[in-house]
Amino acid sequence: MFNRIVASARPQYRTVARLTQRDMPLQIAGILLVCGLCWSVGHPRVAMAVFAAVIAGEVCLNQILRRKTLFHALDTDRVILFALILCSINTVLYLFPALYLAQDPSLAVKITAMMWIMGVQVYLANTWSRVPTFLCVMLLPAMMMMVIAFFVLRQSAPLSSTTTQWGVAAGFLVLFLYSSIDTLRQHLTTEADLFKAERESKQRLAQLEESHRLDTLTGILNRRAFDVALDVMLEDRNLTGGEITVFLVDLDSFKPINDTYSHEAGDEVLIQTAERLQALIGQSGIVGRLGGDEFVCAVHDLGDTDGIMEYGVAIARTIARPIHWNARSLKIVASVGAAATGGGHLPSVQALCSAADQAMFAAKSSPSGAPVLYQPHLFAPRMTAENKQLLIESISDRSLKPYYQPKIHLPTGQIIGFEALARWERGPNEIHLPSEFIDQIDELGLQGDLMMSIANQVVGDINTMLNAGLDPGQVSLNVSEVALATYSGRQDLKNIVADNPDAAKHLTFEITEDVFIARAADTIQASIASFRELGVRISLDDFGTGFASFHHLRQLDFDELKIDTSFVAGLGHDPTAEVLVRGFLNIASGLGVSVVAEGVETQAQSRDLINMGCITAQGFLFSPAVAFAPACQQLQDQKTTLGAL
């Protein structure tokens, strides 16, 4: 029971402390007055004892609520419990002199006693109404004292009172009326303040709700608000007719601007892009920002396919106008995808936006960069809910697993390591390459889960090889931006490495240059440095195909450089490819890092690489990626052959 009472009073703690401190002078003055009257009618000992007890109780209550001296170590619940007890006792003490006044034969004194009890009750009801638990604790004893005083009145027949006694009674009447009016005024003031606070709170809540509707940087609708607004447009369409077209816009060249000129430049690009889209669309539709550098628009009645495409081109041209920032002219290129309701098709917000998203990605991949309109017969259907669940389960049950492509020492033909490549085993003879499921992994946001699953399996396979007496060499693992740019991803991967120190010596993390285009480039560099400290080698994958390669060579500490397949494929018939490969080898030699050539498919390519000084390669000439057991067999066969020599 006490626990329930304390729990109900806990939210009232601050209010009680404030009221007690505020009214302490008034309460001391009141008890001094009533005790003085009690003294004057012949009860000096009672008056002195009650006054001393009330003063002690008030001081103690004040000290407890402020947690002073002896009470500083008390927790909140104990403070509240003691405060409730003291408030109840103090109420009885305040009213106790009234019992002796009620026994007095003077009618004026009897009336004074009852006015004092009623006055205290009025004060309690008005002042403590906002703290109901404390009000009940004090009002109940006050009501009991009222009942007791009522029966005490009859112990002596009322007699005529002196003028002085009636004067005192009149004074108490004035005090009672003043106290009632003052406490009522304070109550009304408190109510007014609470009403004002509630009104201001509602205004702030409305402002907060409005801010939650708008993107904080650009001031246009955020994703959630856009979805709601588009849903309203679709409902209106069902009643009034007409068609709605959704355009999804992605700024292709935004990340290099952010990386090169600063985040302030990137923010200015986003702000001006939003302003341009808003000005172009005006009252004919709505504009929102999905996040990052993606925007979305919904427009009424653009007509047929030609009208939609013309509007898409207008959006692209509007965004492509140079943006001036700090005396620089920043140029932005946008990929635009569109999807229309089309006489009943794609009626939902999710379906329209998903279709526009697919069209946008098609536009991004298009050589012309022209806007693309979603047409169902031209786009492969997206994964069903069943297939999505299957993909999630495949990561969990490890049917998505690493296959191992050997890395070969070209002069001897020996295996000196592997690259772990993800494969999805959906059946005994059904193996899917990453190109067949990686888009779905990205769509479901499972990049981190997939990478951690593959990393755990690779480390386990390395330990198995070592325990079998096999030397796996350096096993490369592709590491995504998720693991490098986020604290949780980095920690998960570091835990795997730290828990397997023997395997860590054989691990190489492959990263691509594209991860440095993200805002978290500094974090990524710090992550790479921390992995190198744990003994993991770092390989720069697909070198020469990304942005600002030589700039990153200056910033990044790495151990290996991988020449991309596109350069190796040109050897023997493209002089430019040979020049570039020689240049990469010279760079690696100057930096003191090793080189691996990818995608070697012919003996001629192998000879050319050896002649240019490249001694490590991988590709279908030597072996495709194979499952763990065949990879172990390859090492075992090599070990047997070398042992026989």
Could you report the per-residue pLDDT of 386-427, keeping only the tens digit for each?
777 888 888 888 889 999 999 999 999 999 999 999 999 887
Q: How many helices (H) and strands (E) does the chain have?
A: 24, 16
Q: 274: pLDDT confidence band, cut at 50, 70 and 90?
A: very high
Least confident range of 236-245, 431-440, 475-484 = 236-245
Render pLDDT for 229-265 as a digit per residue (tens, 0 to 9): 888 888 877 766 778 899 999 988 777 777 677 888 8
**Tokens matching residue 31:** 């008890």
Give the residue with greater pLDDT, 429 vs 299.
Answer: 299
Averaged pLDDT, 92-107: 84
Query: Above 80 in pLDDT, residue 5?
Result: no
Q: Residue written as tokens 């936006």?
A: 353
Which spans in 468-520 are helix H? Answer: 481-485, 487-498, 501-504
Contact 359, 345 (CB under 8 A): no
Q: Which helix (H) or strand (E) holds 162?
A: none
Beta carbons within 10 angstroms of residue 348's beta carbon? 12
Query: Above 50 in pLDDT, residue 431?
Result: yes
Long-range contacts for 162-165 (Cβ within 8 Å, ≥24 apart)? 162/106, 162/108, 165/106, 165/108, 165/109
> Using CA atoms, how far apart are residues 5 and 364, in angstroms rounded to an integer?
65
* Mean pLDDT value across the chain: 81
DSSP 17-36: HHHHHHHHHHHHHHHHHHHH
Beta carbons within 10 angstroms of residue 76's beta carbon? 12
Contact 598, 565 (CB under 8 A): yes
The partner residues of 477 in beta bridges, in order of sequence, read: 420, 509
3-state SS assignment for residue 300: strand
> Using CA atoms, how far apart are residues 494 and 535, in angstroms rounded to an integer?
11
- The pLDDT of residue 61: 78
**Tokens matching residue 626:** 């194979």
Beta carbons within 10 angstroms of residue 224's beta carbon? 11
- The pLDDT of residue 551: 57
Residues of the chain with CATH 3.30.70.270: 223-378
Residues in the chain: 645
> Using CA atoms, how far apart are residues 419 and 541, in angstroms rounded to an integer?
11
CB within 8 A of 20, min separation 6: which ones? 61, 62, 65, 83
Beta carbons within 10 angstroms of residue 342's beta carbon? 17
- The pLDDT of residue 110: 81
Instruction: Note the CATH architecture for domain 223-378.
Output: 2-Layer Sandwich (3.30)
Q: Which of 284, 287, 280, 322 is nearest to 301 (CA)?
A: 284
Query: Above 70 in pLDDT, residue 36?
Result: yes
Render pLDDT for 44-96 as a digit per residue (tens, 0 to 9): 888 888 888 888 888 887 777 776 556 566 666 777 777 778 888 888 888 88
Q: What are phi and psi of 548, to 5 degrees?
A: 50, 50
CB within 8 A of 544, min separation 6: which ones? 563, 564, 567, 580, 584
> Using CA atoms, how far apart are residues 375 and 345, in angstroms rounded to an integer?
11
Highest mean pLDDT among 1-5, 162-166, 276-280, 568-572: 276-280
Tell me how far CA of residue 337 lies from CA of 227, 244, 373, 429, in angstroms: 17, 14, 6, 37
DSSP 523-535: HHHHHHHHHHHTT
Options 3.20.20.450, 1.10.420.10, 3.40.50.11540, 3.40.50.300; CATH of 405-644: 3.20.20.450
Query: Above 70 in pLDDT, residue 534?
Result: yes
Q: Which of 342, 332, 352, 375 is nearest to 247 (CA)?
A: 352
Render pLDDT for 554-597 as a digit per residue (tens, 0 to 9): 667 788 889 888 888 888 888 888 888 898 898 888 888 899 99
- The pLDDT of residue 400: 92
- The pLDDT of residue 519: 42
Which residue type is seen at 230?
L
- The pLDDT of residue 98: 82
Averaged pLDDT, 210-214: 63
**Tokens matching residue 239:** 């009643």
> Using CA atoms, how far apart are residues 29 and 94, in angstroms rounded to an integer?
11
Query: Above 70 in pLDDT, residue 316?
Result: yes
Question: HSE (CB half, 13 Å, CA atoms) of 535?
Answer: 13
> Using CA atoms, how far apart are residues 408 and 473, in angstroms rounded to an integer?
11
3-state SS assignment for residue 404: strand
DSSP state letter for 381: P
Render pLDDT for 440-459 as a digit per residue (tens, 0 to 9): 777 677 888 888 899 999 99
The partner residues of 507 in beta bridges, in order of sequence, read: 475
The partner residues of 251 in beta bridges, in order of sequence, read: 334
Which spans in 516-602 are helix H? Answer: 521-533, 549-555, 565-568, 575-591
**Tokens matching residue 243:** 């068609």
Ranges of beta strands (E only) in 192-347 are 244-251, 285-291, 294-300, 323-325, 328-330, 334-340
Query: Above 80 in pLDDT, residue 12?
Result: no
Q: 547: pLDDT confidence band, cut at 50, 70 and 90?
A: very low
> Using CA atoms, how far apart are residues 408 and 624, in angstroms rounded to an integer?
12
Render pLDDT for 342-370 as a digit per residue (tens, 0 to 9): 754 556 788 888 888 888 888 887 777 78
- The pLDDT of residue 211: 47
Highest mean pLDDT among 49-58, 301-310, 436-445, 459-468: 459-468
> Using CA atoms, how far apart are residues 585 and 610, in angstroms rounded to an integer?
11
Computed over its alpha carbons, how large is the radius of gyration of the chain? 41
Residues of the chain with CATH 3.20.20.450: 405-644
Q: 208: pLDDT confidence band, cut at 50, 70 and 90?
A: very low
Averaged pLDDT, 21-25: 76
Averaged pLDDT, 419-442: 83
Query: Above 70 in pLDDT, residue 515?
Result: no
